[in-house]
Each structure stands twice: as structure tokens, then as C-alpha cells.
Amino acid sequence: MNNSIYEKGLAVVLIIVIIIMALLGIKISGKEKEVFFADYSNTNEENKEQSEKDEYIFVDIDGAVFNPGVYKLIAGSRVIDAINLAGGLKEKAFTQNLNKARKLVDGEKIYIYLEGDEEAESLHPNNLINLNTASVDVLMSLPGIGEVYANRIIDYRNKKQFTSIEEIKNIEGIGDKTFEKLKELITVN
């Protein structure tokens, strides 16, 4: 048997395997990336020790940003930090009611509207969500509020309008812990 034929066949098989692996790598890397991590690398030892002690939060940012997704940030980060990690605002982003300096809450959903969106026009100043007027979808953007709780909030306000944000604790299943996450994100006016 001729060794050169064997070597050529082996080379062809190897090339095919490399092509298949490359295609799989491209296909895998092309999948949507949902979680992004902020790089808070520190240069000196004291800062490295501090960053290991820091708590992290996860925030979902969507809408008029270039790279919507879930981002990991250091607790105490601000809305502008999430916007920057998401690649910045698109040209027609509606930010009149967006408080970019507000501290983020773990599990928070930030939706940045485009100019002309119907929902953008009904937002409260500072991007607070009004318990008396928000839709189910808008209520569900609050941390810890899913469809069931959003519907309970709407059922409650259909019987009696909220007069204070503390009243949200009257909703079955929403207690002090959830209220602490919500109190800086909601309004009743």
C-alpha cells in the first residue's frame, strides 16, 4: 500500500474535521449572549480585596440601547452604568423622564423608550412607575413583580386608587422585603 495515498486521505479527513469544528465554533459564538459582565478590575491589592467583598446585582436593560441584555454590576451602580455597559443610548432614545443618576436595584428591568412610543408619553418624571396608571407589562418590569402580582396591583387599583406607595404592601404576597426593592421605582401621582 502506498503511504502517500494514506497520508493524503488522512490530510483530507483532518481538513474536514477542522472545517466542521470551525463551523460549530462560529454557530456557537453566534448565539445571543444574554449575560454580560462589567470589568471592574483593580490595579492595587487594596482595591482587589475590596472588589472581592463587593456584592453584585443583575440588571436587565432593554429598548433604545445598542446591546440590550442582562448585566452584572457592583451594588450601588447607577442607571448610567447600565446604559454604558449596554453600548450607550440610540439616537432617538427618550430620556426626558430617565434619572440616569438613580441607584440600581438587583433584578431591576430598565426599559428605555424611543421618541414617539405611546408608553414614553405616559411615564412619570424620573422614570418612576405609577401604580395607578401602569399597564401589566410596565408593572412586570419592576423587580419581583411578575404577571400575577401585576394583575393583583391592577385589581386593587380598580377597587381603590393607591394614595401612597406603601399601600403596595396591601397586595397579597408583597411585603417589606419586596417594598424595599420597589420604593425608589414607584409612585402614585
| pTM listed for this prediction | 0.49
**AA identity, residue 154:** I
Cβ atoms of 157 and 117 within 8 Å: the answer is: no
Rg (Cα) of the chain, in Å, rounded?
24
How many angstroms separate the CA atoms of 40 and 19, rounded? 37
pLDDT 10s digit of each residue in the chain, 189 long? 567 777 888 888 888 888 887 777 655 544 444 445 444 444 445 444 445 556 999 999 998 999 999 999 999 999 999 999 999 999 998 887 677 888 888 888 888 888 877 666 555 556 688 898 888 878 887 888 888 999 999 999 999 999 999 999 999 999 999 999 899 889 998
Q: Which residues lie across from 35 on neighbouring strands?
A: 70
Distance of CA 180 to the CA centre of its chain: 19
Q: Which residues pair with 37 in a beta bridge?
A: 72
